[in-house]
Chains A and B, each alone.
Chain A
Amino acid sequence: MTATVLVIVHGLVAVALLGAITHQTLATWAPARAKTGLFFARFRAVPPVSFANAVIVLYLVAALLGAIVYLDFRVDVRPQLERDHHFAALGLFDLKEHFISIGLGLLPAYWVAWHRPLAQDLGGWRAALTAIFAFIVWWSFLMGHVLNNILGFGS
């Protein structure tokens, strides 16, 4: 029961993180020049720096919750997935854990790159690190979702 609650909270934090990093990535790589009525242009017109601290906090919280739930996953869930031969899904999930760790290591550099006032010479690094984080967060979200869906809620 506790694990189920934690997984749900983990998922909700991940949704918030997904929104923040997607806003920031699009606003960094394809900034809108002016606010228009179009949804996509408004989505990109946000100041990307305002998401940096939220991304860091949400990433840490999501990783911490994931690390706690991972213990239950290894004991209760993974053996069932192995028994049912979902090896490809387990491989994709393993990649999630690897990518998240690499992201954890990059968090200090990400924080420095987005620290106000923004350093002009770090523009390329900001863009690159944000793209890496966007990839990690999207991958982790989708793979976690896929794995969760295999067994279903409460199984």
Chain B
Amino acid sequence: MALRRFAFAFGTAFALCYAIAVGGQFALFTVFPSLGLILPGTVQSRDVADPALSFLAPAMYWYGWTATATLGALAAGVVSLAIPEVWTRWIWPGWLWAIPVAAMAACVYFTLPWFRL
């Protein structure tokens, strides 16, 4: 039962944290593949290269967003183990699928600028 609670809390929190990380640009780290660099936090290309040459140092945030969501989900999973089981009965079980679906919808919203170019 504890494993079930942890897994369900982890999945729900991961989706929520991932959407927040993407929307708020909260990457745990930024990868610059052409430079072979990994810098902590969200770092823009213009911060590591001359703005005129920033296209030579593309930044990748996906790994950092996923790491941020993993940390948040782990925290939520651990907290879920400490919550008395009586309390969990008040939580709607549908959150397990509703929050990931909502997070996916939020990601669609965050991606809309690509379609306006």
Chain A residues within 8 Å of B, Cβ to Cβ: 67, 70-72, 74-75, 78-79, 85, 87-88, 90-91, 94-95, 97-99, 101-102, 104-112, 119, 124-125, 128-129, 132
Instruction: Decide yes or no whether B26 CB sits under 8 A from chain A.
Output: no
**Complex CA–CA separation, A125 to B62 (angstroms):** 28
Minimum CB–CB distance from A134 to chain B (whole Å) comes to 13
Q: Which residues of B1-54 have CB atoms within 8 Å of chain A's CB atoms?
A: 3-4, 6-8, 10-15, 18, 22, 31, 33-34
Contacts of B18 in A (CB 8 A): 98, 101-102, 105
Main secondary structure of the interface of A (DSSP, over half): helix
- Let me know if B114 and A129 touch, CB within 8 A: no
Contacts of A75 in B (CB 8 A): 33-34, 58
Instruction: Decide yes or no whether B84 CB sits under 8 A from chain A.
Output: no
Instruction: Decide yes or no whether B101 CB sits under 8 A from chain A.
Output: yes
Chain B residues within 8 Å of A, Cβ to Cβ: 3-4, 6-8, 10-15, 18, 22, 31, 33-34, 55, 58, 60, 62-63, 65-66, 69-70, 73, 93, 96-97, 100-101, 103-104, 107-108, 110-115, 117
**Complex CA–CA separation, A94 to B60 (angstroms):** 11
Asked if A132 meets B7 with Cβ closer than 8 Å, knowing A70-B60, A78-B58, A125-B93, the reply is no
Contacts of B101 in A (CB 8 A): 132
- Let me know if B107 and A98 touch, CB within 8 A: yes
Apart from A75-B34, A125-B93, 16 more pairs, CB < 8 Å: A74-B33, A74-B60, A75-B58, A87-B115, A91-B112, A91-B113, A94-B111, A95-B107, A99-B104, A101-B18, A108-B6, A109-B10, A111-B7, A112-B7, A119-B4, A125-B96
